[in-house]
Amino acid sequence: MYSVVKKVPDVQDIQTVTETHTEEGLSAGFESIIGVSKAIKDTIKTAIKAAATDVIVTLRGESGTGKEVFAKAIHTKSGRKGIFIPVNCAALPESLLETELFGYEAGSFTGADKQGKPGLFEVAKNGTLFLDEIADIPMNMQGKLLRALQEQKVRRIGGTKELDTDVRIITATNRNIEEMVQSGLFREDLYFRINLLPIFVPSLNERQEDIKLLANHFLSNLNIKRHEGAQILCDESYEKLLSHKWKGNVRELKNVIERAAILCDSNIISSEFILFASDISKVMQKQDILGGKTLKLHMENTERGIIKETLKNTTSIRQAALKLGISHVALLNKIKKYNL
């Protein structure tokens, strides 16, 4: 499986990404957004302009494009002293969403905290409230949210006092809100309130120039976390990544890289370890053909056979390692692992 490795990528490129974008040292600012494509650069420019204001920003784009990353960057750049609070509006039922956003007074309902509870509009004072999947908020709740945005005041459930709010609002959705407005599924007045400054986050398919850089970034972070030596991608692996249509965008790319790093024991990840969702499904369907073995076990058996054959046809371990495209130490470890 390693004879297909013809050229090792420039290790300096990998080191640069590691030094610049390690997860431990990564801030939540715009410098954390990785990319050199015009599409992503233009989006960053617009977002930086938005950060300098207090207007409501709506981030639009497909799932997995990094809308929350942009929301955090806008918050950081804005200079607001409060905290950044993300809320997945689609994950909470209407009653719970209302209590989370607006809070409640003591004894306002059965099971309520005796001291009451401040809502996130209060908790996020001087900070940013990120309303993700805003298009999934129920119609009745949309009206209550609209009032809070218009008046910049909230009233806790069971309370009578109007509380002033000082919070930056950023919303996000992957849905076509315009169609939802036309279908009566989203309030038109709320749409106009949040759509003052829409920012469209490009899909990964619109950012071809960024795929290699992102892949190296994710792999570098894994190398640092696992402390098992640096893995790099071979040219054929990059080619496979570049030819793929990314339905899951950056999130899918990260999953693909992590899967490859786990499955591959070599320091050079060959293209056969670059597996997409469709590939995984095919492997699962072929479990009987593999004799019930897992994908990793099947690959280990294949690797053992290749190493054994290479050792027979070479005069030294160093020569075998060179032919296989792995380090001398890596080959010694595999010889010990497979008892060769």
Provide the token pair at 276: 């997409």
Q: Are 76 and 205 in contact (CB under 8 A)?
A: no
CA 122 to CA 24: how far, in whole Å? 30
Neighbouring C-alpha atoms within 13 Å toward the C-beta of 250: 24
**Which amino acid, 123?**
V
Give the pLDDT confidence score for residue 40 in this predicted structure.
97
| Interior/surface letters 179-206, b for 16+ CB within 10 angstroms, e for the rest | ebbeeeebbeebbebbbebbbebbbbeb
Give me the residue spans of the domains in the chain.
11-20+205-337, 38-201
CA 268 to CA 2: how far, in whole Å? 9
* DSSP per position, 255-309: HHHHHHHHH--SSEE-GGG---HHHHHHHHHTTTTTTT--HHHHHHHHHHHHHHH
The DSSP bridge partners found for residue 208 are: none
Kindly list the distances between the CA atom of residue 41 and the CA atoms of 46, 79, 200, in Å, as whole numbers in the listed order.
9, 21, 12
As averages over each run of 10 residues, the pLDDT of the chain (340 residues) reads 35 36 52 95 97 96 96 95 95 91 84 82 96 95 96 92 95 97 97 96 97 96 79 94 96 94 88 85 54 65 82 83 80 83
The DSSP bridge partners found for residue 153 are: 164
- CATH 1.10.8.60 fits domain 11-20+205-337: yes
Cβ burial of 272 (10 Å; 0-12, 13-18, 19+) is: middle
Domain 38-201, CATH homologous superfamily name and number: P-loop containing nucleotide triphosphate hydrolases (3.40.50.300)
CA 5 to CA 234: how far, in whole Å? 6
CA 303 to CA 325: how far, in whole Å? 13
Alpha helices in the chain (DSSP H): 11-20, 38-51, 67-78, 94-102, 120-123, 139-151, 177-182, 188-194, 211-226, 235-243, 249-263, 277-285, 295-312, 317-324, 328-337
Kindly list the distances between the CA atom of residue 187 and the CA atoms of 25, 143, 150, 182, 194, in Å, as whole numbers in the listed order.
42, 8, 14, 9, 11
Give the pLDDT confidence score for residue 315 in this predicted structure.
81
Give the pLDDT confidence score for residue 318 in this predicted structure.
82
Looking at residue 179, the DSSP 8-state letter turns out to be H
Give the pLDDT confidence score for residue 21 in this predicted structure.
36
Length in residues, the chain: 340
Give the pLDDT confidence score for residue 153 in this predicted structure.
95
Give the pLDDT confidence score for residue 11 in this predicted structure.
36
Rg (CA), the chain: 26
Three-state DSSP at 232 gives: strand
Q: Provide the whole-model pTM.
A: 0.75
